[in-house]
Amino acid sequence: MNNPDKPVQFIFAGKAHPNDKAGQDLIKRIVEISKDPEFIGKVLFLQNYDSELARVMVQGVDIWMNTPTRPLEASGTSGMKAVMNGTLHFSVLDGWWVEAYKPNAGWALPEERTYSEQEFQDDLDAETIYNLLENEIVPAFFDRDEESIPQEWVGFIKKSITEIAPAFSSTRMLNDYQKQFYTKLLQRSKDMVADDFEMAKNISAWKKKVSRSWDSIEVISVKPLDGAKEPMVQGLEYTAEAVIYLDSLQPNDIGVELVVASPVNQGEVKILGVIEFDMVNFENGRATYQLKFSPNEPGAFDSGIRIFGKNPLLPHRMDFPLMRWI
């Protein structure tokens, strides 16, 4: 901040919740530092942060820096507004920035934590911030050509405006709603009411049929795919099979699928993939479902097999709640 050739000024603004004592103490500490002789004019705290102050800041600052504790950033709309105004963003990969960040269009701290202890993580993040500022960000800003234009910096701004800003506009949001939801819902509504609500009647009849017979479904035999006890080898083919008595149902009334997950004894379970079985035989009410599976990655995995109600007329699997693990 006191470098005569490459000075940096930090501007803080924001409000702490009345019950957020830690936030209030942090603001108090920033104000105290701003009054130290070596930081006067170099560290500023702007009071009464509101939309009007934000409007001036997002247009006037060179970098919008946000350093939330992972993963507590709710969204980060102020950073979006800053990018719309040509301001470069520098933040932890959390909230909106984890979706928006692109190399050479801003800067980021890693999304993953290195330490479980927050104090150690804060120290590492602070050191990373200072290193990036001193070795990358500040030099790029002050590196000027003969016309005093920071070509690299301007390149960052152009990439930020062209590749990041459009993805976080209201226009993009409304277009997504229209393409992904409104248009599809409109078409489905037309399909549902066509021919005197024929589709709605078929779905209702199917749900009643499956619900009545669900408790009568019986698993005759099952050969699970177990990659947890013996690590899977990439490229080899593994087989799982389930023979199920369907009572009055037909094979296409249910689906059988394999759920592959990270080992349950390694902390948080992560679903790695879901693969549906093929129906290979149906005789005397017994359906045989089989899966041939070649892993893309080697290693130890946990897996489970589940049965679910299946109908191509359903808008989504969650529209029918019946499911059973076997």
Instruction: Mark whether 164 and 77 lie in a shared domain.
Output: yes
Instruction: Mark whether 233 and 149 lie in a shared domain.
Output: no
Instruction: Mark whether 127 and 224 lie in a shared domain.
Output: no
Give the pLDDT confidence score for residue 45 in this predicted structure.
93
Query: Would you say residue 9 lies in a domain?
Result: no
Residue 87 carries which side chain, given as an amino acid letter? T
Give the mean pLDDT of the chain. Answer: 90
Q: Which of 168, 194, 219 is the last residue of a domain?
A: 168
Instruction: Mark whether 129 and 217 lie in a shared domain.
Output: no
Instruction: Mark whether 159 and 240 lie in a shared domain.
Output: no
CA–CA separation, 163 vs 181, rounded Å?
24
pTM summary value = 0.64
Mode of pairing for the β-strands spanning 218-223 and 238-245: antiparallel
Residue 47 carries which side chain, given as an amino acid letter? Q
Q: How many CA atoms lie within 13 A of 282 on its CB side?
A: 12
Query: H/E element holding 14?
Result: none
CA–CA separation, 49 vs 24, rounded Å?
14
Query: Would you say residue 164 lies in a domain?
Result: yes
Q: Which of 150, 168, 186 is the last residue of a domain?
A: 168
Where is average pLDDT lowest: 94-98, 200-204, 257-261, 262-266? 262-266
E-assigned strands of the chain? 10-13, 43-46, 63-66, 88-92, 107-109, 218-223, 238-245, 254-261, 271-276, 278-283, 286-293, 302-309, 323-325
Give the pLDDT confidence score for residue 229 in this predicted structure.
65
Contacts within 8 Å (CB) and 24+ apart, 132-138: 132/90, 132/107, 133/8, 136/107, 137/63, 137/90, 137/107, 138/6, 138/8
- 3-class SS at 239? strand
pLDDT at 228 over 70: no
Instruction: Mark whether 242 and 314 lie in a shared domain.
Output: yes
Query: Would you say residue 101 lies in a domain?
Result: yes
CA–CA separation, 203 vs 233, rounded Å?
42
Segment 139-147 shows an average pLDDT of 93
Contacts of 290 (CB under 8 A, 6+ apart): 239, 240, 241, 277, 278, 280
- Number of structural domains, the chain? 2
Query: Would you say residue 68 lies in a domain?
Result: yes
Give the pLDDT confidence score for residue 303 in this predicted structure.
85
Give the pLDDT confidence score for residue 129 in this predicted structure.
92
User: Residue 310 maps to which CATH number?
Assistant: 2.60.40
For residue 27 the two structure tokens come to: 């603001």
What is the extent of the structural domain holding 290? Answer: 211-325
Q: What are phi and psi of 85, to 5 degrees?
A: -100, 10
Instruction: Mark whether 239 and 159 lie in a shared domain.
Output: no
Instruction: Mark whether 105 and 215 lie in a shared domain.
Output: no
CA–CA separation, 25 vs 134, rounded Å?
27
DSSP 304: E
Query: Would you say residue 24 lies in a domain?
Result: no
Give the pLDDT confidence score for residue 266 in this predicted structure.
63
Query: Would you say residue 94 lies in a domain?
Result: yes
Query: Would you say residue 311 lies in a domain?
Result: yes
227 in Cβ contact with 295 (< 8 Å):
yes
Give the pLDDT confidence score for residue 183 in this predicted structure.
96
Per residue in 51-77, pLDDT tens? 999 999 999 999 999 888 888 888 888
Mode of pairing for the β-strands spanning 88-92 and 63-66: parallel
Query: Would you say residue 184 lies in a domain?
Result: no
Give the pLDDT confidence score for residue 310 in this predicted structure.
95
Q: Which of 251, 248, 232, 249 is nearest to 240 (CA)?
A: 232
- 271 forms beta bridges with 261
Instruction: Mark whether 152 and 252 lie in a shared domain.
Output: no
